[in-house]
Chains A and B, each alone.
Chain A
Amino acid sequence: MTMAAAATEVRASYAFVERNINLVKRYWGWELVWMLYTIANSIAVVMIARGVNGSVSGQGLSDAQIDELVLILCVGALVWHYLAVVFETVSDMISWERWEGTIEYTFMAPVHRGTHMVGTALFSLVYGLVHTAVVLVVIVLMFDLNMDQANYLSATLVLMVGSISLIGIGIMGAVLPLLYPERGMQMTHVIQAALVLISGVYIAAEDMPEPLATISVISPARYIIEGIREALIYNASPMDLWKTMVGLLAAGLVLIPVGVWVFSLGERYAKRTGKLKRSG
């Protein structure tokens, strides 16, 4: 690819970012509801930590232990929310366009499929970060969380690097709505549910039942959550987390091309069978 062609693709990728930003603006009412729903969900999870002291533990936990539990659950809920937003935005790009009826138009445009996905992924990162930041601020204020030990730089780096691999999985997931117009979107939710189950969102991966703990080794989300917990709760520096970040980067560099390849196979199949159309 020449430099000029690459520049054209970069410009085209902005088409998807701008379009999605415009959609968020136009659907602002829904965005508000979605934000409230997310905040309520996150608060409910964090309240489990507050409640566990009285209802489960016979002898009671120290304030420090409760704070730690609150932060563990809070980080799990927030990071999972962010990853779910990124994953859903990428994997829903097909269902959304099919619903709007624009899928044929977008797929007919002279844009490389990788550009299409990178553009969508870029938006998902920004959108996920903004969304999660708002929820974080509300929770910190509401629960008076002690974030003195938080290393925000480390957490942000782990989140950014880790997002790459999630985008790769999201691209693979996007092939499902392409091939199964009626139920493809629900299938991507199954992938998400599986990731939640094995990634140690609410309890540490090593504390999960043996089969799940073993499978969790292959989930990038597990390392993202663990890395961010280390950064926000135990003040881990970027240097402390370099192995996690290198591993996540390597996973991302493999998963994105694999995702695009899987999607291109699906697209070709859809063109052969007539599934690349606006209605099911």
Chain B
Amino acid sequence: MESTSVLEPAPPAASPNPVLAVTPLRDQKIAVDVQNATKVFVTPPSLLSRLRGNRTPRKRVVAVDNISLQVRRGEIFGILGPNGTGKSTLIRLMSTLLIPDSGSVTVFGYDIEKDEATVKRLINRVSVEASFFKKLSPMENLLYGARLYSVDAAEARVSIRRILKRLGIEDESVMSPMEDMSRGMQQKVAIARAFLSAPIVLLLDEPTTGLDPHSKKEVQAFVREIRDVHDATVLLTTHDMQEADDLCDRIAIVDQGGIVALDTGAALKERVKGEKYPNPTLEDVFLELTGKSFVDSDVEEKP
């Protein structure tokens, strides 16, 4: 009978995660450490303006503004905020896709800039858009991913079928082009791809955005399972209040590139509980702490 877990129990003598067998962690307790990180995106002046001596940027967006946070090993840590508040930029910093202008980001003690290769072995990321070669099948896409992360191809083929089946993707879809799949299915394949590399830190950038309620629940259950069975730390950005409340051990509420509060969901709600909010939700927390409603703050996502 098929196991309910996608993860086979690790042999007793082995490390629970194969990545740990080759990459010793410098810091055993803090998975991700962000210290005073700032990222500003600048649109330079046009060539004509520069020739006229004008050096003033056309646009300057402070995406991440002096943020500090620590994610503990084994946590599901939520970064909650409307679009355009720097959540994705923060995740892309942790993913080594961006270099901070100032401050530092480390993953289990490894700096994302100085120890980039090691950090890359420890992490994987699922972005809001499932990014695949659309004509290739899930098997072909995932096999490509597996090879990039040095996973044995023969083992990967078996694991891919098992993980996809666990996520509700039928055998006949495994070899069909990704473009024939629904967005929800594609997102599940994206999660399977990230999981295949056995990341110690899994970065999920709005993984359930646009999914139907059933798919959303399945993905959320999978995220819990990855943490519980696999010794993974999960960092999750979302603008879904309920998801953050249900899934995350701690939540950082971000607005305009900065953290306005960081605590457990219950503690955050406790902060604003009172006459005005007898049974507060995270939305009430956001409103109280930022002075604006979540919907009003939902602005276009910056780079």
Partners in one complex: yes
Name A residues whose Cβ lies closer than 8 Å to a Cβ of B: 8, 11-12, 14-15, 18-19, 22-23, 26-27, 100-112, 268, 271-274, 276-278
Docked Cα-Cα span, A19 to B134, in Å, equals 12
Which B residues touch A276, using CB under 8 A? 97-98
Contacts A23-B133, A26-B135, A26-B177; A106 near B148 (Cβ below 8 A): yes
CB pair B303 A105 closer than 8 Å: no
- Please give the distance in Å from A247's CB to the nearest CB on chain B: 35
B81-101 contacts to A (CB < 8 Å) = 89, 92, 95-99, 101
Query: Taking the nearest CB of chain B, how far is it from the CB of A14, in angstroms?
Result: 6
Binding site for A on B (CB under 8 A): 39, 41-42, 89, 92, 95-99, 101, 117, 120-121, 123-125, 127, 129, 131-136, 140, 143-145, 147-150, 177, 193, 303
| B96 near A108: Cβ-Cβ < 8 Å | yes
A100 to B96, Cβ gap below 8 A?
A: no
Are A108 and B97 in contact, with the CB atoms below 8 A? yes
Determine the main DSSP class of A at the interface with B: helix
Q: How far is the CB of B215 from chain A (nearest CB, A)?
A: 20
- Contacts A105-B193, A111-B148, A274-B303 known; list 16 others, CB within 8 Å: A11-B147, A11-B150, A22-B140, A23-B135, A100-B134, A104-B125, A105-B131, A108-B96, A109-B148, A271-B97, A271-B98, A273-B42, A274-B98, A276-B98, A277-B92, A278-B131
Which listed residue, A27, A105, A110, A272, touches B121 by the CB 8 Å rule?
A110
**A15 and B133 contact, CB distance less than 8 A:** no
A44 to B99, CA, bound (A): 51
In the complex, the answer to whether A277 meets B303 with C-beta atoms within 8 Å is: yes
CB-defined contacts of B134 to chain A, threshold 8 Å = 100
Contacting residue for A104 out of B127, B150, B193, B303, CB 8 A: B127
Among all A-B residue pairs, the 5 with the closest Cβ atoms = A15-B147, A110-B120, A109-B148, A26-B135, A101-B131
With a cutoff of 8 Å between Cβ atoms, the chain B residues found around residue A112 in the complex are 117
- CB <8 Å contact, A15 and B121: no
Contacts of B41 in A (CB 8 A): 273-274
- Pair A19/B95 contact, Cβ less than 8 Å: no
Query: Nearest B residue to A100 by beta-carbon distance?
Result: B133
CA distance A270 to B136 in the complex (A): 27
Which residues of B sit under 8 angstroms from A277, Cβ to Cβ?
92, 97, 303
Complex interface: chain B residues within 8 A of A107 (CB): 97
Nearest CB in chain B to that of A17: its residue? B147
Rounded to whole angstroms, the CA-CA distance of A271 and B144 in the bound complex is: 23
Task: Indicate if the CB atoms of B97 and A19 lie closer than 8 Å.
Answer: no
A104 partner residues in chain B, CB cutoff 8 A: 92, 95, 97, 125, 127, 131
Complex contacts, B145 vs chain A, CB 8 Å? 105, 109
